[in-house]
Amino acid sequence: MAIQWFPGHMHTTRLAMVERLKSGIDVVIELLDARLPGSSANPLLAELTAGKPALKLLNKQDLADPARTTLWLDHYNAQPGTRAIGLDASEPAPAARLVTACRAMAPLRGGMVKPLRLLICGIPNVGKSTLINTLVRRKAAKTGDEAGITKTEQVIVLASDVTLFDTPGMLWPRITVPQSGYLLAASGAIGRNAYDEHEVALVLLEALQASYAAAIATRYKLPDAAALAAMPADALLELIARQRGLVQTGGRLNLQKAAEVVLNDFRSGAMGRVTLETPEEHAQWVAEGQAREAARAAKKKGRGKSRDAAPLDDPEHP
């Protein structure tokens, strides 16, 4: 099942972002989830902000695998016009680094004559509101663990010559990389009514089994991490349900509750420091998604040609 979620306010956000960019923005800040940096990067944003200096903030790095965070920082820092830094949005000292980084990326801006104008954006529930509250040292933005809390633009003065334009969390109209859709749902970036928690939990477990079987064993007090790594995800979910005592009347396992446990443990960091993708893995998923989209477009085009050619088969039109 492909996961899609693009509420009406996100379309409004897209239009507002286009207008804001036209009015003049010096640096675009994109907040990413350090546990899924590629999947949480908005391809629509890259299209809208092409040519602008880009600061990629890998947020929640305290929940991510440090070695993989380094891989992702190197990946983004190798891109032209881009700088990337790791961040824990709840800590004031690292958060303040972004202003310094933005000044360095727009050296001709600053001062009262040419104030520095920043646009910050990201997917829903990536921690943007928490970061802004940390920057201004007060509660300027609403926070919560539900995607889509912020729905209107906010203008925040960070310094006498630095203005930050905060946009609501925004996904893209069509997610063409299925694996990314599942990981976004697992992270809480997609509204709960848009996916099946049991299905998403199975995909999440498969991703964790590949590199973090020991973390699963520790969290759920399960023996033999090596065996867990090779176990089908649905069997592993059943094992977690039994271990947690999630049994319904008649002895049936409550797999829905087990799925909720797994998702909540990942989102809260109870699984330990894990990252669900590497730059190479994500690039492969994107390439596969592009191939599927090309095949889909070709098939659609072929159907259109067939319809156009249909009258030629009519005996009255030889």
- pLDDT digit string, tens, across residues 263-315: 999 999 999 999 999 999 999 999 999 999 899 888 888 877 766 655 544 44
In this prediction, residue 316 carries a pLDDT of 44
Q: Between these two residues, 46 and 151, which has the higher pLDDT value? A: 46
CATH topology of domain 10-166: Rossmann fold (3.40.50)
Question: CA dihedral in degrees (181, 185, 188, 191; nearest 10)?
Answer: 100
User: Most confidently modeled of 11-15, 161-165, 266-270?
Assistant: 266-270
- Angle at the Cα of 290 (from 55 to 188), degrees rounded to 5? 55
Nearest to 55 by CA among 19, 25, 14, 18: 25
- Tokens at residue 162, please? 């630095």
In this prediction, residue 195 carries a pLDDT of 94
Residue 219 has pLDDT above 50, yes or no: yes
Residue 212 has pLDDT above 70, yes or no: yes
Q: Which uninterrupted H or E stretch holds 57? A: strand 54-59
Residue 184 has pLDDT above 90, yes or no: yes
In this prediction, residue 9 carries a pLDDT of 73
Helices 279-309 and 178-187: angle between axes, nearest 10 degrees:
130
Residue 183 has pLDDT above 90, yes or no: yes
Q: What is the spatial distance between Cα 13 and Cα 249, in angstroms, rounded to a whole number?
A: 47
- Tokens at residue 40, please? 């949480």
Three-state DSSP class for residue 144: coil
The DSSP symbol for 247 reads: B
Q: Between these two residues, 61 and 19, which has the higher pLDDT value? A: 61
In this prediction, residue 143 carries a pLDDT of 44
> What separation in angstroms does the CA of 112 have from each of 57, 154, 161, 266, 267?
27, 21, 6, 45, 42
Q: What is the spatial distance between Cα 128 and Cα 118, in angstroms, rounded to a whole number?
A: 14
pTM for this prediction: 0.86
Q: Among the residues of 123-254, which ranges form H helices?
A: 128-136, 178-187, 197-220, 225-230, 233-243
Q: Strand order of the sheet with strand 54-59?
A: 82-86, 54-59, 27-33, 116-122, 162-166, 154-159
Please state which CATH number belongs to domain 196-268: 1.10.1580.10
15-19, 38-42, 260-264, range with the lowest pLDDT: 15-19
pLDDT digits (tens, 9 = 90+) for 53-106: 999 999 999 999 999 999 999 999 999 999 999 998 777 777 778 888 999 999
The rounded mean pLDDT for the chain is 87
Task: Give 1's pLDDT tier (boundaries 50, 70, 90).
Answer: low
pLDDT digits (tens, 9 = 90+) for 129-160: 888 888 877 655 454 444 444 456 788 888 88
Write the DSSP assignment of 301-315 as a string of letters: HHHHHHHHHGGGGST
Nearest to 169 by CA among 70, 286, 33: 33
In this prediction, residue 146 carries a pLDDT of 45
Domain ranges of the chain: 10-166, 196-268, 279-309
Q: Which residues lie below 8 Å from residue 63, measured CB to CB, with a gap of 6+?
A: 34, 35, 269, 273, 274
